[in-house]
Structure 1
C-alpha cells in the first residue's frame, strides 16, 4: 500500500472516532510541521493536546486544557534530519547512552516512522479517541550497524483527562534464529518554572549509577532529589517504583510518572557548562527543564525470535500538594 493511501486510510479512521453527541471536533489531525515534516495533533474536548512528529516517532508538545505547555523543547532544536529533536519525548532504542558502533541513544529518535494501519490489539477504553499508532521497522542501513530485524510499534494516547500515555511493543523478527538485546528509555523533558524549585520524590534511598563518575554505584541519601548544587545531574536509578512524582513548587504543579516494564529511571539536567556546549540547546534553558525518564538500562532486555517486549509510560499532572506518601503501588495504570 503506498504511503499517501496509507495516510488517507488512517485519517479516515481518525475521523470515524472524531465525533460524539453532535460534536464535530477533530481528535486526530494530520498536518505539516517545522520544515515541512509530517506531524499528528491529538486533541481532547476539554482542550488538552499532544503533537507528534513522525520524525523520531516523537512527542514534541503536550498541553493541558488551559493551553499550558507541559514539555520542554529547546528554542534551538533542529527539526532536520539526521539530528534528533532536542526536547519532548525522544525514544531511546536500541540503546540508552553511547557505546559500541551505535550512535548516542540509538537510532529510533532520528528515523522516519510510519503510521501503523494494522496495529495489534491494545486494551482500549472507548472514551479515548485521541490516539495514533506508529511503527518503525529495520532498514538495510540499520542492519549494517545493528544486525537484527525488528518491529517497533508505538501507540500514543491522549486520555480524556489530559493524561499522556505511550505504549511500546518491540518484536524480534530475525529469521536467522538469533536473539537480540537492547536497552530503552522514554527520554522525557518536563517543562519546569525554575530547576531550583523542583524536587523529585519516589527515588529516595535507592541505588543509582552516576554517569558523571564512570557509572559508579551510590545510594541516594536525601529524602527527595533537589537541584541546587549548580552542577549537572546524570543518574540512572535502579529498581525504581512504578510511580515517580516531579514537584514544581513555583508553578504549583506536580507531574506524576507511571511506568510498566521499565524498572529504571534516569534523572538528567545539563546545568550551565554542558548547556553552553550543546549547539541545539540555549545557554540558560537548563533552568526550565528536567528529564525524568522511564527506562531499562542496567539489565538489557533479551528477545528470542518471535518474542515481544512491552513497556509503558503514563504522565499526568495534579496540584503540587501531591507527595510521595500518596503513591499507591496498587493503582499503577488505568486502561487505554
Structure 2
C-alpha cells in the first residue's frame, strides 16, 4: 500500500510505499523517478538500503544481520540514542535502534524543499520500559528524505517531555555503514589536522597528522569539531560519498 500524508502527498504517489520486509517487519520504500531508492524499517527507524539510479547499493548491511527483535540490525544507518558508544549506563549505542518507531502523521513543520516528494516522518516516544532504565520522557522525530538527485537526508528533532521540567543530556549519532570495495583503497578528506579521541587507546586525545585519512589497520576514532562537509573517496569504484551535516560537531570512523 502507499502512504499518504498532508502537504500534498497523494495516496496514488509512487514515491512512498509501506510494505513488509524481512521476517514480516514493516518497512517503507522511498523511490525517485530516476530510479534511486531507500528502504527504512520501522524497527529501529533504521535505513537498511540506499541505491543510486544504477541500482548500486551504497550502504553495507552484514550478511549475518538478524532482522528479528530484540536483536539490532547490523549495518545500514543505526540511530544511536540516548547514548553513542558504551560510555554510559545504558546498552551500547542506546535503545532507540531496538524500538519500534511509528509513522508520524502530524509532524511539526520541518524545512522542506517542495521538489522532495520521497520522504517519511517517523516518531519514537518513551515507554515505561525505557523510563526504568533512563528516567526521562522524550519525543524523537525523524524525517528521512530521498532527494530527486538521489541524495539521502536524515533530519532529527528531540523534544524533552518531562512533566517536572527536568532537563537531560544525551549523545546521538547516525552510525552509518557505507558500502565500499577495498578498504585499503578508501580515503577520507576533511578531517586533516583535527583532534580526535582514540577508542583503541582508552580515548586518549591526539591530533591527526596525515593529509587524508587512510586505513591500514583497525580504526576506532572520534574526531572533534569537524567541518560541515566530509568526503569519503572509494578509488576502486571511482565513487565519492559527500557528507554534509549540521548540528553534529563530531565524526567517528
TM-score after normalising by structure 1: 0.73
Does residue 1:64 correspond to 2:52, yes or no? yes
What pairs with 1:79-90 in structure 2 (closer than 5 Å)?
Answer: 79-90=67-78
**Alignment partner, residue 214 of structure 1:** 202
- The aligned counterpart of 1:17 is 9
In structure 2, what is the Cα distance between the partners aligned to 1:251 and 1:14?
A: 40
Structure 1 residue 13, shift from structure 2 partner: 2.8
In the alignment, what sits opposite 2:219?
233
Question: Do residues 265 (structure 1) and 251 (structure 2) align?
Answer: yes
Aligned to 2:36: 48
| Distance (whole Å) between structure 2 residues aligned to residue 128 and residue 236 of structure 1 | 32
Q: Which residue of 2 is the match for residue 243 of structure 1?
A: 229
Partner of 1:154: 142
Decide whether aligned partners of structure 1 residues 261 and 201 sit closer, same or farther in structure 2, where only a CA change above 3 A counts.
Answer: same
Instruction: Compare the two structures and name the one with the higher strand fraction.
Output: 1
Contact kept in structure 2, 1:133 and 1:154, CA below 8 Å: yes
For 2:243 and 2:98, the matched residues in 1 are separated by 25
Measured against aligned partners, the alpha-carbon deviations of 1:282-311 in whole angstroms (never above 9, x if no partner) come to xxxxxxxxxxxxxxxxxxxxxxxxxxxxxx
Residue in 1 aligned with 2:238?
A: 252
Q: Check whether the contact 2:80–2:175 (CA below 8 A) recurs between aligned residues.
A: yes
The structure whose residues are more often helix, as a share, is: 1
> What is the CA–CA distance in structure 1 between the aligned matches of 2:53 and 2:161, rounded to whole Å?
41
Give the aligned partner of residue 326 of structure 1.
none
The Cα shift of 1:115 comes to 0.4
Ranked by relative contact order (alpha carbons within 8 Å, sequence separation 6 or more), the top structure is: 1
Q: Does 1:74 align with 2:66?
A: no
In structure 1, what is the Cα distance between the partners aligned to 2:236 and 2:72? Answer: 30
Task: Kindly indicate whether the alpha-carbon contact (under 8 Å) linking 2:5 and 2:105 is maintained by their aligned counterparts in 1.
Answer: no
Cα distance in 2, alignment partners of residues 98 and 127 from structure 1: 39
Superposed displacement of residue 17, structure 1: 3.0
Aligned residues: 253
Q: Which of 103, 128, 132 matches 2:116?
A: 128
1:107 deviates by 0.3
Partner SS, residue 150 of structure 2: coil
Question: Is the contact between residue 42 and residue 101 of structure 2 (CA under 8 Å) also seen in structure 1?
Answer: yes
Contact 2:4 2:10 in 1 (8 A): no
RMSD: 1.6
Answer yes or no: is the 8 Å Cα contact 1:208–1:236 preserved in 2.
Answer: yes
Deviation at 1:72, TM superposition (A): 0.3
Q: Which runs of 4+ in 1 moved over 4 A?
A: none
- Which residue of 114, 125, 130 maps to 1:142? 130
Q: Which runs of 5+ in 1 are unaligned?
A: 1-7, 268-336
Contact 1:133/1:156 (CA < 8 Å) preserved in 2? yes
Counterpart contact for 2:43–2:100, Cα < 8 Å: yes
